Amino acid sequence: MSHIPVLLNEVIKFLDPKPGNIILDATVDGGGHAIAIAKKILPDGKLIGIEQDNNILEKLSSKIENQYPELKNSNILINGNFRDIDKLLKPLNINALDGALYDLGMSSLQLEESKRGFTFLKDEPLLMTYKFPIEPGDLTAKEIINTWPEKEIADILFHYGEERYSRRIARNIVRRREKKPFQSTFELAALVKQSVPYRPFHRIHPATKTFQALRIAVNNELEAISESFEKAWQFLIPGSRLVIISFHSLEDRIAKNFLKSKKQKGEADIKTPKPITATEEEIYLNPRSRSAKLRAAVKLKII
């Protein structure tokens, strides 16, 4: 599957990259946004791309080398978690950024190629971690549903997936695992489907919210997002821009509240009073853009 960047024109508009800029793409993924930004900051700019999955980074590095050799010296790709921005930038001697981008959407490459159980449409191991390579001790979805207490599972499904049937699903998970531990995505998806009322006209698969919740829990996503925003903000110089694309309400709420708090402190000028969404044309060409929301702000100089 080819990587299609969401809201690309809007990202370039609000990020406003210029020649010589140092820009952070905290979620570089397949490089759709990063490559477009890198072209704007030539000849002396730097695009720093962070990605947890080293497989994805290797593919992107090869793509740049083969298809965009003119950008090779403009891109610095780092394998790591964006919550560690300060630690990742320190060896590069980078103390200031002219802009930062977050695309918090689920990677199409992770869904299609990772074989780590992010989708209920394929029968895969219940891992759901973005991190690669996976090390002993790393949390997985399999560990959560096979070992965690019923109440904790229910809380995860309710708070991270906004699943109204969280308690029923958690109860049935515990009953099932006592007979046979869960191994695969199909097993979990089938259990969830049996646990919720049948709705013939329901738009999404019954397991969608459960898988979302487990993915967020495994990767500690919401805490990582909040921590990363704050760290990136400290690196941004006055006049620089922060652009955030989110895909579900929990992420968007964090982005909204973060920018609002910076505005209240006199540190930010919010450029998107309401989130920017995809045009009908983009949604037609790239259906996953339907739920995307973009928020942006300029960092102000504190007097």
Task: For residue 270, count CB atoms less than 10 angstroms from its CB and return exposed for 0-12, middle for 13-18, buried for 19 or more.
Answer: middle
Residue 32, marked binder:
yes
Residue 234, marked binder:
no
Residue 103, marked binder:
yes
Residue 51, marked binder:
yes
Residue 110, marked binder:
yes
Binding-site annotation: residue ranges for S-adenosyl-L-methionine: 31-33, 51, 82, 103, 110
Write out the binding residues: 31-33, 51, 82, 103, 110
